[in-house]
Structure 1
Amino acid sequence: MNATTEQRIALISVHGDPAIEIGKEEAGGQNVYVRNVGEALARLGWQVDMFTRQVSAEQETIVQHSPNCRTIRFQAGPLEFVPRDNLFVYLPEFIEKFRQFQQENGITYHLVHTNYWLSSWVGMQIKKIQGSKQVHTYHSLGAVKYNTIDNIPAIASKRLAVEKEVLETAETIVATSPQEKQHMRSLVSTKGNIDIIPCGTDIRQFGSIDREAARAKLGIAPDAKVVLYVGRFDPRKGIETVVRAVGASKLRGSENLQLIIGGGSTPGNSDGIERDRIEGIINELGMNDMTTLPGRLCQTVLPTYYAAADVCVVPSHYEPFGLVAIEAMASGTPVIASDVGGLQFTVVSEKTGILAPPRDVPAFTDAIDRILMNPEWREQLGKAARERVISKFSWDGVASQLSELYTQLLELPVVPDLVPALVSSLEKSVAQPAAQVSKEPALQR
Structure 2
Amino acid sequence: MRIAVLITQYPPNVTAGLGRYAQVLFPLLARTEEMSVHTLNTGRLQIWERRDGLEVHRPISWVLRLATRKHSINRETRSGFFAFALGVIETNLRHLPALWVAKRRGQIDLVCAHDSTNFIAMAFVEHVLRIPLVFHVHTTEFGLAPVRSISDPLSLFPRIEKHLARRSRLVVAPTPETAQVLRDNGWGDTDHVRHVVHGSGYVGQERQVDVQRCHRLRTKLGIDPGAPLLVFVGRLHKQKGILPLIRALRVVADRVPDVRLVVVGEGNQDAVRGLVSDLGLGDHVILTGFVDQERLADHYAMADLCVFPSLYEPFGLVAVEAMALARPCVLGSGFSEVFFRTPEQGTPTAIRVDESNPESFGDTLIAWLQDAEGTRRVGEAGRDWAREQFSWQRACAQTLELYREVLG
Q: What TM-score results when the alignment is normalised by the length of structure 2?
A: 0.84
Q: Is the 8 A contact 1:206 1:328 kept in 2?
A: no
Cα distance between partner residues in 2 of 1:150 and 1:306: 26
Select the structure with the greater relative contact order (CA < 8 A; seq sep ≥ 6): 1
- Structure 1 residues 167 and 103: alpha-carbon distance in aligned structure 2, compared to 1, 3 A threshold: closer
In the alignment, which residue of structure 2 is the partner of 1:96? 96
Aligned AA (2:180): Q
Q: Is the 8 A contact 2:126 2:167 kept in 1?
A: no
Q: Confirm whether residue 239 of structure 1 aligns to residue 236 of structure 2.
A: no
Q: Equivalent residue of 2:155, what SS?
A: helix
- Structure 1 residues 298 and 206: alpha-carbon distance in aligned structure 2, compared to 1, 3 A threshold: farther
In the alignment, which residue of structure 1 is the partner of 2:111? 112
**Structure 1 unpaired stretches of 5+:** 1-6, 265-270, 413-445
Shift of 1:197: 0.2
Q: Equivalent residue of 1:300, what SS?
A: helix
Q: Confirm whether residue 69 of structure 1 aligns to residue 63 of structure 2.
A: no
In the alignment, which residue of structure 2 is the partner of 1:127? 126
Q: Equivalent residue of 1:288, what SS?
A: coil
- Structure 1 residues 91 and 18: alpha-carbon distance in aligned structure 2, compared to 1, 3 A threshold: closer
In the alignment, which residue of structure 2 is the partner of 1:9? 3
Q: Confirm whether residue 258 of structure 1 aligns to residue 263 of structure 2.
A: no
In the alignment, which residue of structure 1 is the partner of 2:200? 201
- Please list, as runs of the form range in 1=range in 2, the aligned pairs for 1:160-309 lying within 5 A after superposition: 160-191=158-189, 193-204=192-203, 208-210=207-209, 212-218=211-217, 219=219, 221-249=224-252, 252-253=255-256, 256-264=258-266, 271=267, 274-309=268-303
In the alignment, which residue of structure 2 is the partner of 1:439? none
- Structure 1 residues 9 and 149: alpha-carbon distance in aligned structure 2, compared to 1, 3 A threshold: closer
Shift of 1:344: 3.6
Shift of 1:385: 0.8
In the alignment, which residue of structure 1 is the partner of 2:339? 346
1:235-270 deviations in Å (ceiling 9; x for gaps):
32221111221221167445x422101113xxxxxx
Q: Is the 8 A contact 1:174 1:195 kept in 2?
A: yes
**Structure 2 unpaired stretches of 5+:** 68-81
- Please list, as runs of the form range in 1=range in 2, the aligned pairs for 1:329-368 lying within 5 A after superposition: 329-340=323-334, 342-348=335-341, 351-368=348-365
1:309-348 deviations in Å (ceiling 9; x for gaps):
11111122211111111111111112112112x4443245
- Structure 1 residues 182 and 39: alpha-carbon distance in aligned structure 2, compared to 1, 3 A threshold: same
Q: Equivalent residue of 1:289, what SS?
A: coil
- Structure 1 residues 149 and 194: alpha-carbon distance in aligned structure 2, compared to 1, 3 A threshold: closer
In the alignment, which residue of structure 1 is the partner of 2:367? 370
* Structure 1 stretch displaced more, 369-378 or 213-222: 213-222
Shift of 1:59: 2.2
Shift of 1:92: 6.4
Q: Aligned residues, how many?
A: 383
Cα distance between partner residues in 2 of 1:150 and 1:39: 30
Q: Equivalent residue of 2:185, what SS?
A: helix
Q: Equivalent residue of 1:10, what SS?
A: strand
In the alignment, which residue of structure 1 is the partner of 2:18? 30
Cα distance between partner residues in 2 of 1:347 and 1:11: 32
1:29-84 deviations in Å (ceiling 9; x for gaps):
22222232212212x3222211113332x321124332x12421124674535645
- Structure 1 residues 320 and 37: alpha-carbon distance in aligned structure 2, compared to 1, 3 A threshold: same
The structure 2 residue matched to 1:52, chosen from 39, 43, 57, is 39
- Structure 1 residues 328 and 63: alpha-carbon distance in aligned structure 2, compared to 1, 3 A threshold: farther
Q: Is the 8 A contact 1:124 1:170 kept in 2?
A: no
- Structure 1 residues 214 and 150: alpha-carbon distance in aligned structure 2, compared to 1, 3 A threshold: closer
Q: Is the 8 A contact 1:224 1:257 kept in 2?
A: yes
Cα distance between partner residues in 1 of 2:379 and 2:158: 39
- Structure 1 residues 238 and 83: alpha-carbon distance in aligned structure 2, compared to 1, 3 A threshold: farther
CA RMSD of aligned residues (A): 2.8
In the alignment, which residue of structure 1 is the partner of 2:10? 18
Q: Equivalent residue of 2:39, what SS?
A: strand
Q: Is the 8 A contact 1:209 1:304 kept in 2?
A: no
Shift of 1:151: 6.1
Cα distance between partner residues in 2 of 1:287 and 1:166: 45
Q: What TM-score results when the alignment is normalised by the length of structure 1?
A: 0.78
Cα distance between partner residues in 2 of 1:245 and 1:327: 24
Shift of 1:308: 0.9
Q: Which runs of 4+ in 1 moved over 6 A?
A: none
